[in-house]
Amino acid sequence: MPNATLKRHKTSIAEYDALTEMGFFDGLSVELIEGDIVEKMPQSENHAVVVALVSKVLGRAFSPDFHVRNQSPLALEDSKPEPDVAVVEGTERDYLASHPTTAVLVVEVAQTTLETDREIKSSLYAKAGIAEYWIVNLVENQLEVRRQPVAMPSAVYGFGYSSILILQSGQTVSPLGASHAQIAIADLLP
């Protein structure tokens, strides 16, 4: 058999949205990551509970000038990820015509997707200039706080975070966008 190189077609957000409108992805759980349509993992009970806990805690921490979105798209340059939780400026009605293009905080809850969230999603969110990215790590029962996006040639998409804090139950964290709030790490874990 000849050695053939597969050609990949990168999908734009416009093409992805058109396919979604036509019902092409009905019944599938997918997101657009740097032009690739990627199937999302099904949620475990633990995962769903932690998403709800994180949303509730962040809703209390941030002022009414922000709102918390659960598993809803962000329209980034070549991507349309659906983070588990994102805190964005404004109200829900501000996004009737289009999805937010950034967030002040993005949170992924990771159990089976830990390496993907650390490598791919981290680089993606850093590339988009998202100042703060948290991973609720259910494998090691801790919170990974990533801040200060910078160019990082070794990262998947050429960007990463220069500051990574690992926080355990018994510690607290203050989100950059709500520095007055002291969030107990235990409140974010199952």
Phi, psi of 127 (to 5 degrees): -60, -35
pLDDT in tens, 61-110: 999 999 999 999 999 989 999 999 999 999 999 999 999 999 999 999 99
pLDDT, residue 185, reads 98
In single-letter form, the type of residue at position 8 comes to: R
pLDDT score of 19: 87
Beta strand 159-168 with 142-151 is antiparallel
- Is the confidence at residue 1, as pLDDT, over 50? no
* Contact of 74 with 57, CB cutoff 8 Å: no
Residue 31 pLDDT grade (very low, low, confident, very high; cuts 50, 70, 90): confident
Identify whether the C-beta of residue 107 lies closer than 8 Å to the C-beta of residue 173: no
Q: 3-state DSSP call for residue 81?
A: coil
Torsion region of 108: left, alpha or beta (phi above 0 gives left; psi -120 to 50 gives alpha) = beta
DSSP helix/strand/coil, 188? helix
Assign 190 a pLDDT band (cuts: 50, 70, 90). very high
Backbone angles phi, psi at 47, to 5 degrees: -60, -50
What does the pLDDT look like over 164-182, one tens digit per residue? 999 999 999 999 999 999 9
Residue 183, judged by CB atoms within 10 A of its CB (0-12, 13-18, 19+), counts as buried
Q: Is the pLDDT of residue 2 over 80?
A: no
Residue 163 has φ and ψ, to the nearest 5°, of -120, 125
Convert the pLDDT of each residue in 118-147 to its tens digit.
999 999 999 999 999 999 999 999 999 999
Q: Does residue 25 have a pLDDT over 90?
A: no
User: What is the Cα–Cα distance from 150 to 112, expressed in whole angstroms?
Assistant: 27
